[in-house]
């Protein structure tokens, strides 16, 4: 069931995640930890990027040195919590283009409704990395990926901090071609759709709202 999911078990990621889950952690610390973990997750999600070589001269001799083959990247933040993952990844890949998808849940139909969509035009030529800290029901993530595919994206990866089994299953059903990288596969969703044991509302914790 989880063959499209990678859980990054690196000790640094797990340690930082525990600090983030702790309700005693301040907003400032939470934001900083999220930024740090985003870079460690980005390391994993970009592991298979294509490489080529470039002829360079070190101070001692010439060599064919490895460089990225140059497939361009787009980072897509699902508003608003996705922005907490965005900056850290952008530091590692400063040339990436950035897009934003805003979705809210219709209280009657419970379906995601788009309120904002602004993405780079050439998505079809880019590796698209979607960032959202919490993969809960998976409904908004699946809807966001639907929109990105309609906009031309055909090489999409999904990066989150925590995933619930329900969300992973939903994504696999809707988008089996989209690999997911996360720091933890938690136990389940509660009745309100929170990930358990989770860390609460990621947006509220990173922006200090309630
Ligand atoms: N969104 C959050 O911020 N937290 C959850 O636990 C689930 C969805």
Where are the domains positioned within the chain? 5-48+72-207
ipTM: 0.95
Does the beta carbon of 34 sit less than 6 angstroms from any atom of ligand 1? no
The reported pLDDT for the residue numbered 111 is 82
Does the beta carbon of 198 sit less than 6 angstroms from any atom of ligand 1? yes
Does the beta carbon of 202 sit less than 6 angstroms from any atom of ligand 1? yes
Name the one residue in this structure whose structure tokens are 């619930």: 164
Residue nearest to atom 3 of ligand 1 (CA): 201
The reported pLDDT for the residue numbered 63 is 98
Closest to 180 measured CA to CA, from 2, 6, 3: 6
Bridge-partner residues for 114, per DSSP?
Answer: 103
Q: How far is ligand 1, taken at its centre, from the CA of residue 37, in Å?
A: 17
Residue nearest to atom 2 of ligand 1 (CA): 201
Q: How far is ligand 1, taken at its centre, from the CA of residue 57, in Å?
A: 50
Q: How far is ligand 1, taken at its centre, from the CA of residue 201, in Å?
A: 5
Q: Catalytic amino acids?
A: 105, 109, 201, 204
CB 53 within 8 A of CB 66: yes
Does the beta carbon of 86 sit less than 6 angstroms from any atom of ligand 1? no
The reported pLDDT for the residue numbered 210 is 84
| Assigned architecture for domain 5-48+72-207 | 3-Layer(aba) Sandwich (3.40)
Question: Mapped to the 3 state alphabet, what secondary structure does 64-123 carry?
Answer: EEEEECCCEEEEEEECCCCHHHHHHHHHHCCCCEEEEEEEEECCCCCCEEEEEEECCCCH
Q: Judge residue 114's burial from the number of C-beta atoms within 10 Å of its C-beta, 0-12 exposed, 13-18 middle, 19 or more buried.
A: middle
pLDDT in tens, the chain (210 residues): 678 999 999 999 999 999 999 999 999 999 999 999 999 999 999 998 999 999 999 999 999 999 999 889 999 999 999 999 999 999 999 999 999 999 988 777 778 899 999 999 999 999 999 999 999 999 999 999 999 999 999 999 999 999 999 999 999 999 999 999 999 999 999 999 999 999 999 999 999 998
The reported pLDDT for the residue numbered 2 is 76
Residue nearest to atom 7 of ligand 1 (CA): 194
The reported pLDDT for the residue numbered 1 is 62
């Amino acid at each position: 069931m989880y063959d499209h999911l990678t859980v990054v078990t690196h000790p640094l990621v797990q340690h930082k995640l525990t600090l983030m889950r702790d309700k005693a952690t301040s907003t400032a610390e939470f934001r900083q930890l999220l930024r740090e973990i985003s870079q460690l997750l980005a390391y994993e999600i970009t592991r298979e990027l294509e490489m080529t070589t470039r002829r360079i001269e070190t101070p001692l001799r010439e060599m064919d040195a490895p460089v990225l083959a140059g497939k361009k990247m787009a980072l897509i933040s699902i508003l608003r919590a996705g922005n907490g993952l965005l900056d850290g990844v952008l530091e590692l890949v400063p040339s990436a283009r950035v897009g934003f998808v805003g979705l809210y849940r219709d209280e009657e139909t419970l379906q995601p409704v788009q309120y904002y969509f602004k993405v780079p035009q050439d998505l079809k030529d880019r590796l698209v990395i979607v960032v959202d800290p919490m993969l809960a029901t998976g409904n908004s993530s699946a809807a966001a990926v639907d929109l990105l595919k309609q906009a031309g994206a055909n090489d999409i990866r999904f990066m989150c901090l925590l995933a619930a089994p329900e969300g992973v299953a939903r994504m696999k059903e809707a988008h089996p071609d989209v690999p997911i990288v996360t720091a933890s596969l938690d136990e389940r969703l509660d009745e309100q759709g929170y990930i358990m044991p989770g860390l609460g509302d990621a947006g509220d914790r990173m922006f200090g709202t309630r």
